[in-house]
Amino acid sequence: MGAQKIDTTANQEFHILKLPDLAFKHVCSDVEVQIKESLARANEFHVLDFSAVTGLDQNALGLLMRFQLDLKKIDKRLFSINVSGTLHNEFKQRGIDKAFAIFASTNDITKELQTNQAPKVDADVLKTFVKSAAKAFEGQVKIQITPGKISTKSQIFEADDVVAGRVNVKVEGFKGSVTICFSEAVFKKIYKLILDDDIEKVDKDTADAAGELMNMIYGHAKTILNQTRNIALPPALPIILLNPKVEKATTLVLCMPFTSEAGPFRIEIVFA
């Protein structure tokens, strides 16, 4: 019997391997060659099309498992489509269904990737917000602030945040919020520096200073990004949050910490 050619349709996003019926042992050597060729390709995503597969020879299964592991080693991913109910059950019984990442179609794979893809973070945009924060504090609070290292967080807000000023943003490339967060002690010092007024407590009358600072930071960043990067951030009214509750993050949260003579505070950027 001549070598069976495996259909390897390479569409724009995925490299698709149309598998022959792997119930038969003799196809294994051909599959092995095609898998080796697939591993050399640049595609990040590889899809096994099981539409012609009625059964799985043990050697063929071993080849596919090795393919999945080899892809994982080079940070590439394997998906499977057109897997029959019988085969799917067999994979489940062997505990390998997750390894094959089974979907109904490549459209479903695309939707899954779009939902779970880590958002792209533009370093220049972050730097603009850092500079805008420095300008707002220098101009209105009359203090210098020092940015710390930007990191990710697993929660939104911290337990000692007493007040926050937030703007919600929806623009091409970013949907989420930018929030400045203060502890009580730091906020009272900042309020005193802005208004020369000692406050007993942070309440709805005094909390809007956080909103106003966020307003200034956002407004300045909006102007700069429009002028230098043609990024048109939309107008946004700040929201004031009093005693915000800590929430577990379900999406990416960036933390931009600052230190100052009034104490430390943060800007959190939450990607929706």
Partner 1 sequence: MFDPKTIILVVDDMKTMRKLVKKSCTDLGFSNFLEAEDGAQAFETLAAANPPVGLVISDWNMPNCTGLDFLKRVRAESRFKHTPFLLLTAESESSQVATAIQVGVDNYMIKPFSTNALSEKLTAVYKKRNPAAA
Q: Is the dihedral of CA 222, 226, 228, 230 positive or negative?
A: positive
Contact 267, 179 (CB under 8 A): yes
Closest distance to partner 1 from the beta carbon of 219 (Å): 2
Please state, in angstroms and rounded to a whole number, the distance separating the CA atoms of residues 198 and 168.
30
Closest distance to partner 1 from the beta carbon of 217 (Å): 8
Closest distance to partner 1 from the beta carbon of 195 (Å): 6
Which residues of this protein are in contact with partner 1, per CB under 8 A? 135-136, 138-140, 191, 194-197, 205-206, 208-209, 211-212, 215-216, 218-220, 222-223, 226-227, 235, 237
Please state, in angstroms and rounded to a whole number, the distance separating the CA atoms of residues 79 and 105.
10
In terms of CB distance, is 31 or 134 closer to partner 1? 134
Closest distance to partner 1 from the beta carbon of 190 (Å): 11
In terms of CB distance, is 200 or 205 closer to partner 1? 205
Q: Does residue 90 sit in helix, strand or coil? A: helix
Tell me whether residue 21 is exposed, middle or buried, using C-beta atoms within 10 angstroms of its C-beta: 0 to 12, 13 to 18, 19 or more. middle
Closest distance to partner 1 from the beta carbon of 257 (Å): 21
Q: Six-digit token pair at 128? A: 């603009």
CA distances from 190 to 108, 136, 146, 182 (A): 50, 12, 15, 10
In terms of CB distance, is 28 or 167 closer to partner 1? 167
Closest distance to partner 1 from the beta carbon of 70 (Å): 53
Please state, in angstroms and rounded to a whole number, the distance separating the CA atoms of residues 47 and 53.
14
In terms of CB distance, is 75 or 205 closer to partner 1? 205
Please state, in angstroms and rounded to a whole number, the distance separating the CA atoms of residues 128 and 269.
13
Please state, in angstroms and rounded to a whole number, the distance separating the CA atoms of residues 108 and 93.
24
In terms of CB distance, is 27 or 214 closer to partner 1? 214
In terms of CB distance, is 115 or 227 closer to partner 1? 227
**Residue given tokens 């970013």 in the structure block:** 174
